[in-house]
Chain A
């Protein structure tokens, strides 16, 4: 890919676009030769890519291509069978998920994973866990140990997130009683509360109607641009992916088949064949271009 700034699809240059001539220090995350096996099933094969700071990065691919497995390798749910993952230049391959959260990786889940019996507010406050200092002892003594002051300071910040995602009206509601779209939003709020540098969104728009999708897309773009978070998104809605991503990688059967700007990826014949669907006759006419031979 060229080092020249690429105009964002939204029509204005993004800070990340301006730094396209990336030096290695701009890389916030890197996967090197990641493979993942479950017994006889090869979920990922030798996947390598890097994500730049401030980027909105999408992972796409057909069902079962290994997208969620890849995100799980980043967040620490799975440990790659082979290969390494680096975050901010540090090898995090063997790190537990809770440790990664304190380093600055947050995520949402494909299937809702809220704490169903807690209020929305408490759900989001759980996201502050690694930023809060009070423990079972100081917490129990609440007024005497400064725990109260700390909790209130974080409450203020959580309220800002609530304002941003427009969920003020449900802040005292039990999370399990909310509608699907709201729950997805609360989950995003909880991930933002972690103050992550890298936020992983696993199908943030699955099962939403058009209006909710538009809202969610707006939040994701704002996260990226106003909060300065690097976003990794898995999404099936190609319209959204192509509109808001800076760069995209495509997985198929656990292998990376393409990487680049949305336009480049869309134009890639292998992607067309694998994911977007194309007639068999046309397939035969297209020879795989040599530049797609990934390591």
Chain B
């Protein structure tokens, strides 16, 4: 079952180029294009509330993808991802506020700045593994958080900082409807870049370092370089995600980027599937939408006996947190490979029906 091939029989690849495409079949590619096209129509019929959720999924999904490259593909660990996300947010706001750099340019530049910081904190990763590395990244989390609240010139201190809206050719993307497109473009581009990375030399090297670092070294892979680089790439994605967040809310406050947020990022990629690109997005969507689903359930239950027994109206806040915790535990037990794996199995079931293999 490990290698379900969903290539229809008779669909032979006659060139290596045809065998290394992102999508295994034409149908799957067309469906992906159709999906993006449908998303383009979203602002026309979705209300603000749902658009806001979609935008959240977008920028968090980019940052989660970065963490997945680090944790899922390279086998490192980081519990300071939210701090890098925050650093990206502040950098982009700082670049556009202090230097008048257009926001469209400030976002990638913020990504580059965050890459530098990430690689700095990634240096211990060359020597440390597992729990020890986790503690080292915890230090990154607290150092950066402290930096945010003290560096008034950079973050505006405890008062926070405003961020300019995203502007392109004089048009300001300052509404949910318009910013949706900005995030969508970034998500598509970043996910394609990551997919390409993982099917080329350095992506393979990262996975090799994860799977067997001793033989990776014998294969000519410089472990120090790739472990540090992985932190850099991961921070780049976090920085881009953070910058989008800043220009969406148009305000960044120092409080948001706590360790809890970092752990939430870890939750996203574990639920989505470690070492899966699309899994990162699925996991993010899951984490963002789960509270909404819980809300919907409570609304549906209001007035029933269960509502009376649990006193939902007042207990909803912690019940929701507990439910999220429970779902994560259930995921770890029953689907350790995440939503991406479940999705593959559903596709296989659909393709192979009525047979099971």
Contact = CB atoms under 8 A, between A and B. Distances in A.
Interface in B196-250: 196-197, 199-205, 207-208, 210-212, 214-223, 229, 233
Contacts of A76: 218
A128 to B, nearest CB: 8
A229 interface: no
B5 interface: yes
Contact of B196 (A132, A135, A139, A155): A139
B212 A134 contact: no
A117 B201 contact: no
Interface stretch (A11-19, A171-179, A244-252, A253-261): A171-179
A97 B17 contact: no
B57 to A, nearest CB: 22
B356 interface: no
Contacts of B197: 136, 139-140
Contacts of A139: 196-197, 200-203
B218 A140 contact: no
Contacts, number: 124
B193 A140 contact: yes
A131 B326 CA distance: 48
Contacts of A126: 204-205, 208, 216, 219, 221
Interface string A179-208: 000000000001000100000000000000
Contacts of A109: 214-215, 218
A133 B216 CA distance: 17
A98 B222 contact: yes
Contact of B3 (A116, A159, A172): A172
A5 B233 CA distance: 57
Interface residues of B, number: 35
B232 to A, nearest CB: 8
Given A134-B200, A141-B193, A151 B220 contact: no
A86 interface: no
A113 to B, nearest CB: 4
Contacts of B207: 115, 117-118, 122
A114 interface: yes
Interface in A81-117: 96-99, 101-102, 106-107, 109, 113-117
A218 B64 CA distance: 49
Interface in A31-82: 75-77
A272 interface: no
A152 B16 contact: yes
A81 to B, nearest CB: 20
Contacts of B196: 139-142, 147
Interface in A128-179: 128-130, 132-136, 138-142, 147-148, 151-152, 155-156, 159, 172-174, 177
Contacts of A117: 207, 210-211, 275
Contacts of A102: 220
A113 B217 CA distance: 11
Given A141-B196, A174-B2, A135 B218 contact: no
B27 interface: no
A174 B199 CA distance: 15
Contacts of B218: 75-77, 97-98, 101, 106-107, 109, 113
A125 B204 contact: yes
A140 B194 contact: yes
A76 to B, nearest CB: 8
A48 B218 CA distance: 23
A139 B197 CA distance: 5
B212 A113 contact: yes
Contacts of A177: 2-3
A151 B219 contact: no
A262 interface: no
Nearest to B17: A152
Interface in A198-253: none
Contacts of A155: 16, 20
Nearest to A142: B196
A129 B16 CA distance: 19
A101 B222 CA distance: 10
B224 to A, nearest CB: 9
B235 to A, nearest CB: 13
Contact of B220 (A77, A98, A138, A148): A98
B219 A114 contact: no
A152 B218 CA distance: 23
B217 A98 contact: yes
Contacts of A141: 193, 196
A129 B220 contact: yes
Given A97-B217, A117-B275, A173 B201 contact: no
A98 B3 contact: no
B220 A113 contact: no
Contacts of B220: 98-99, 101-102, 129-130, 194
5 contacts: A115-B215, A129-B205, A141-B193, A147-B200, A147-B201
**4 shortest A-B CB distances, which residue pairs?**
A139-B200, A101-B220, A115-B211, A130-B220
Given A114-B212, A140-B193, A194-B219, 11 more contacts: A98-B222, A107-B218, A129-B219, A133-B201, A135-B201, A136-B233, A139-B202, A140-B197, A151-B201, A155-B16, A172-B5
Interface of A: 75-77, 96-99, 101-102, 106-107, 109, 113-118, 122, 125-130, 132-136, 138-142, 147-148, 151-152, 155-156, 159, 172-174, 177, 190, 194
Interface of B: 2-3, 5, 16-17, 20, 193-194, 196-197, 199-205, 207-208, 210-212, 214-223, 229, 233, 275
